[in-house]
Chain A
Amino acid sequence: MQTQEEIKKLEAIIQESLAEAKKQGATDASSGLSVDTGLSVNVRLGEVDTIEHHTSQGLGITVYFGQKKGSASSTDLSPKSIKETVSAACSIARYTNKDQYAGLPSADRLATEFKDLDLYHPWQLEADAAVDIAISCEDSARQFTEISNSEGASVDSFSGLHVFGNSLGFLQGYATTRHSISCSVLGEKDGNMERDYWYSVVRNQQDLESAEQIGKKAAERTIKRLGAQHLSTRKAPVLYAAEVAGGLIGSLLAAISGSSLYRKSSFLLDSLNSQLFPEFMHIYEQPHLLGALGSAMYDAEGIATQAHDIIKDGVLQTYLLSSYAARKLGMESTGHAGGVRNLSVQSGDQDFKQLLKTMDTGLLVTELMGQGVNPVTGDYSRGASGFWVENGIIQYPVEEITIAGNLKDMFQHIVAVGNDIDYRGNVRIGSVLIEEMAIAGE
């Protein structure tokens, strides 16, 4: 198979770089290499806007002189450049300090099982065919009379080869693909424009949502937002729609990641085995799901990934640690260098409509803006738009408001998680209902 041959070639480059590091005096080294190729096509108002051909590559190497560390990277994979890159890393390691926690992971934690996770499905997509798909996607959105303008529709297809090795003898590579279709359109009402979008992203092109469906959803989402009103300042229940609920879990993951913990820049210090969520909450990780976007057999250091309960019965079961963070905290690596892989938040039995009913009167949030989360304190205040809901029924779109609270408190006051799961991201989650938040408006 051609990709296997390609991977072999890249593995040879990794070996060469590791050997060069040893030759230049490094006691240990790790080295990673990615090669990506792809096609991106964007159409707008029925015409081609851009056609981009992507080809990029990069080698990154980390060397250790005892417990002194240096890193370097280059886009040039020639033997001369590899030598220079290794030499740049070694030169830096001469000036960094000895860090007693630095070093490669312990050899017995390195992955030894390398299952094919079904992540590679090349799509023989020519630019012309991609343009046709994008046009049909945008056309399907523009059929709605309320759609007045378009930012266009895009089709993207990427393949990548990823190889990683270290001086403990680990050397592995795998191929991935990633295909997506997206569409963003505008509508106008009373002189005010609104825009919304929809997308699908998958490993296997056959799993893509149809171009027509994506265009239709983008249009429907835009149209629903037209005629948005302001809200007065108040407290109310807030329902995070599935497509924005993942952000809440993102804040949790950042707060329980090793680097936030050892820097004490987390609002969840010393929270292992604490009841962070209501008892019905269960959050788990499945790194070996076939064909999923986050899947991998090993983490960014080569440590075997494994299934984890992150939250069980509302209680925090594990931090997310790389070897470095683990040593620093006096713990064991959890195989989370590079983050979590395929997280799921267990749903209750309510669908979206039932959640609206449970909320009765409150705010449905479908878009969030800005970065207003303080990771040290958990203070949370973000720009929002969405819909005002009364008696379980959507009344009118709202915008130019903020929702605020403290994440610790918000986690404790999750009322329900819907079964309307958004499967597109690394975090699979349904809509999340929070008992009450502060809403600032007029």
Chain B
Amino acid sequence: MQENTNLQLAKQALLLPTGLQESDIHRVMDQLMTGAVDGGDIYFQASHFESWVLEDGIIKEGSHSIEQGAGVRALSGEKTGFAYSDKIELDVLLNAAKNVRAIARQGQNRKLAVASGGKPAAQLYAPLNPLRSLQDQEKVDFLHRIDIATRQLDTRIEQVIVSMVGVQEHILIANAGDSLVGDVRPLVRMNVSVIVEENGEREQGSMGGGARSDYSYFLDEDKAMSYAKEAVRLALVNLEAIPAPAGTMPVVLGAGWPGILLHEAIGHGLEGDFNRKETSAFSGRIGERVASSLCTIVDDGTLEGRRGSLSVDDEGTTTQCTTLIENGVLKAYMQDKLNARLMGTQSTGNGRRESYAHTPMPRMTNTYMLAGESEPEEIIASVKNGLYAKNFSGGQVDITSGKFVFSASEAYLIEDGKITQAVKGATLIGNGPEVLTRVSMVGNDLELDSGVGTCGKEGQSVPVGVGQPSLKIDSLTVGGTQV
């Protein structure tokens, strides 16, 4: 049987240079799966990363890094033993296996052969190497071109920073009793940020995008310049902005990136680990109504080329589209293997880790709300006095109390059904389990974000996507200064 390309490529990148044989992986697995260990894996990873930064009109910095190593994990009941090393060497891995299996001391030895081959997952991205998709000279020429064109957009532009990052990861996962799984993951990210100044007042604007692709992604359809134009527009809007109001009011969220609200307010609370431990405000609420019937929310790791997508997750499980909330009713949590087993269900392909040096956890992929039926204009027109939040910077949630917060980077007052004055410094705060029950209109304009999201959980960062149509929340607290 012919092995799939990704597995072959991953073996070439991870085993060939280190001299490790597949039979060695079996030996480590046998060492690991002794005693009462009831699951385990070895995660090999090699990651090549580069970044280029243009500032003050010159290519000021560039960096290149290689990280590679292997993480060995043993699972026993609710217990996890974990060790990792930067060295992919047999004796190091055997020692790691011996260390981590100590979490389970009693029980029969179990020998599980690691099968080879198996059904490959659908490939959602080509095994590209972004670092080689352009010559270095072409990369720096490209950044210069964007810088010059950006500075021509407006005379008030004081400072332009353009950055571009490319990563290629080779991943090989050996699971107890299962076949080896390989993946080759490209990821590119670009950002343009500007500072504008007028009459001594300064403001910043920043916009970017990214995908599981190579740098050609930014050259297509002039994407890079669209980021630049958007960054300048945001900065100029904020230059005109007045302080935001303080208090509770109707809030209309724009389409696309504002879906970060779903990620923070809802998504984290639906991750399997918190629900297995019953520490989430959503614990034990499957089948209950947690949102208005207009809301259907999915986590979809299978979108082609998106930043949050994965052909297989970091435990080797094929990703899927999981319906979390359907017409307002809570349907499912997002699971990795450990939490799925402990909750008597299946992994949903959400087992993710930052690198070989971290343990997997249930994490989101691309999380978004499906489109509704309202025209976006109709939604704005329905609000007498409120806030229109079109863009956001970061957010945060306390999954136990359900409280979430996020900061608008572009917001306007709505007065008599019309968008009027831009406001700045609007932070929104609410309660996850409540906020979606107050959704009274959902737009027909579903958009996914431009590919910039990075999610942090317990010190681990992973790329994610978010999205939503325009939607109206009947009341939400806006934390401005104008009391």
- Interfacial residues, chain A to chain B (CB-CB below 8 A): 44, 47-58, 69-76, 81, 84-85, 88-89, 91-99, 102, 127, 149, 151, 186, 192-195, 228, 233-235, 263-265, 369-372, 374-377, 379-383, 385, 399-406, 438-442
Contact = CB atoms under 8 A, between A and B. Distances in A.
Interface in B460-480: 477-480
B145 interface: no
A403 B481 CA distance: 8
Interface stretch (B171-179, B303-311, B393-401): B393-401
Contacts of A91: 64, 136
Interface in B424-483: 424-427, 429-431, 477-483
Contacts of B83: 52-55
Contact of A382 (B86, B277, B405): B405
18 contacts: A47-B79, A50-B79, A50-B80, A52-B82, A70-B64, A81-B66, A88-B66, A97-B60, A195-B400, A233-B247, A379-B481, A381-B480, A382-B427, A383-B396, A383-B405, A406-B481, A438-B481, A439-B246
Given A73-B63, A402-B246, A235 B477 contact: no
A370 B428 CA distance: 10
Interface in B176-230: 195, 197, 202-204
Nearest to A267: B202
A128 to B, nearest CB: 9
Contact of B202 (A127, A376, A442): A376
A193 B279 contact: yes
Interface string B367-394: 0000000000000000000000000011
Contact of A194 (B69, B248, B401): B401
Given A233-B248, A234-B483, A402-B429, 12 more contacts: A54-B357, A72-B64, A76-B87, A88-B66, A95-B59, A127-B102, A265-B159, A369-B429, A375-B204, A381-B407, A383-B405, A440-B478
Contacts of B161: 263
Of A47, A374, A381, the most chain B CB neighbours within 10 A belong to: A381
Of B99, B424, B427, the most chain A CB neighbours within 10 A belong to: B427
A438 B480 contact: yes
Contact of A88 (B64, B81, B159): B64
Given A53-B100, A438-B480, A71 B401 contact: no
Contact of B424 (A149, A374, A403): A374
A380 B425 contact: yes
Contacts of B419: none
B394 A94 contact: no
B65 interface: yes
Contact of B69 (A75, A234, A263, A399): A75
A370 B407 contact: yes
Nearest to A43: B79
Given A72-B65, A76-B86, A233-B248, A402 B427 contact: yes
B64 A404 contact: no
Contacts of A149: 277-279
B236 interface: no
Contact of B479 (A94, A195, A235, A372): A372
B137 interface: yes
List 4 A-B pairs, minimum CB-CB distance, nearest first.
A402-B479, A383-B405, A97-B58, A440-B246
B365 interface: no
Contacts of B82: 50-53
A417 to B, nearest CB: 24
A186 B279 CA distance: 8
Contacts of A69: 60-62
Contacts of A193: 279, 281, 400-401
Nearest to A128: B102
Given A70-B63, A194-B401, A379-B424, A94 B58 contact: no
Contacts, number: 254
Interface residues of B, number: 79
A393 to B, nearest CB: 24
B244 interface: yes
A383 B479 contact: yes
Contacts of A382: 405, 427, 479
A381 B427 CA distance: 6
Given A195-B400, A440-B480, A48 B69 contact: no
B86 A369 contact: no
B429 A401 contact: yes
A259 to B, nearest CB: 10
B425 A379 contact: yes
B44 to A, nearest CB: 13
A70 B59 CA distance: 10
Given A44-B277, A151-B279, A56 B357 contact: yes
A369 B393 CA distance: 13
A238 to B, nearest CB: 13
B218 to A, nearest CB: 17
Contacts of B404: 369, 383
Contact of B248 (A81, A265, A405, A442): A442
A265 B83 CA distance: 41
B241 to A, nearest CB: 10
Contacts of A81: 66
B60 A49 contact: no
Contacts of A401: 429, 477, 479
Contacts of B426: 381
Contacts of B357: 54, 56
B247 A440 contact: yes
Contacts of B61: 69, 71, 96
Given A75-B69, A233-B248, A370 B60 contact: no
Contacts of A51: 79-82, 100, 102-103
Given A52-B359, A53-B96, A370 B427 contact: yes
B62 A71 contact: yes
A55 B79 contact: no
Nearest to B197: A264
Interface in B35-86: 50, 55, 58-69, 78-86
A369 B479 contact: no
Nearest to B424: A379
Of B58, B279, B357, B424, the most chain A CB neighbours within 10 A belong to: B279
Contacts of B481: 379, 381, 404-406, 438
A263 B195 contact: yes
B406 interface: yes
A151 B274 CA distance: 9
B151 interface: no
A53 B431 contact: no
Nearest to A75: B86
Nearest to B430: A400
A38 to B, nearest CB: 11
B62 A48 contact: no
A441 B203 CA distance: 27
B364 to A, nearest CB: 18
